[in-house]
Amino acid sequence: MLDTHARKYVQPIFTYSAKWLLKLGLSANQVTVIAFIIGSYTGFFIYWDMPFIALFALWFSGFLDVVDGSMARLTKPSPFGTVMDVTFDRIVEISVILGLAFRYPDVMWALLLLSVSIIVSMTIFLTVGAVTEKQGMKSFYYQAGIAERTEGFVLFSIMILFPSILLWSTLLFFAIELFTGMQRFLEAKKILS
């Protein structure tokens, strides 16, 4: 929801950063890899009880993840860049979930449910993107939902910073992801019927 509706307000920051990184000689795919490397360490920082470093790694990788898309649109987007981007985003999320699960094994079952809801929601999202003829700003149809990447980062941040409510914040995230999956499924029925 925030990615879809608030992006226009912060896009100038991403565009400026994209132009600056392009001037440095970096490509969009290189920035995608840098974002992936930084973000994938988030789970390790969580496990090692370094929540503020984990938060920085998560959000900085997310920032670079948006900037790489802006870089691609300023140059030439590549289909493989899209594959890397979507795949690496999921690995960063897996890193967060695994870091939390190993740090707080008593809520591992809830984190497993969250993982399932993300898999279901992303399956719908990616399948609709693959089979629809519509195309948005990205190289595939971007199906908006109540939980997009920014909402996920906000919820992950709450989970990382407030382990005393980890179970409840995980279950809230699970419910929001399930709702988003149902929302996308019903939209897919309208688009593809």
Which pTM does this prediction carry? 0.89
**Cβ neighbours for 82, distance < 8 A, ≥ 6 positions apart:** 138, 139, 140
- Average pLDDT for residues 121-145, to the nearest whole number? 71
**Which value, to the nearest 10 degrees, does the dihedral of the CA atoms of residues 52, 58, 61, 62 take?**
-120
Domains of the chain are 2-192 (1.20.120.1760)
pLDDT above 70 for 146 = no
pLDDT in tens, 33-64: 999 999 999 999 999 999 999 999 999 999 99
- Average pLDDT for residues 135-162, to the nearest whole number? 78
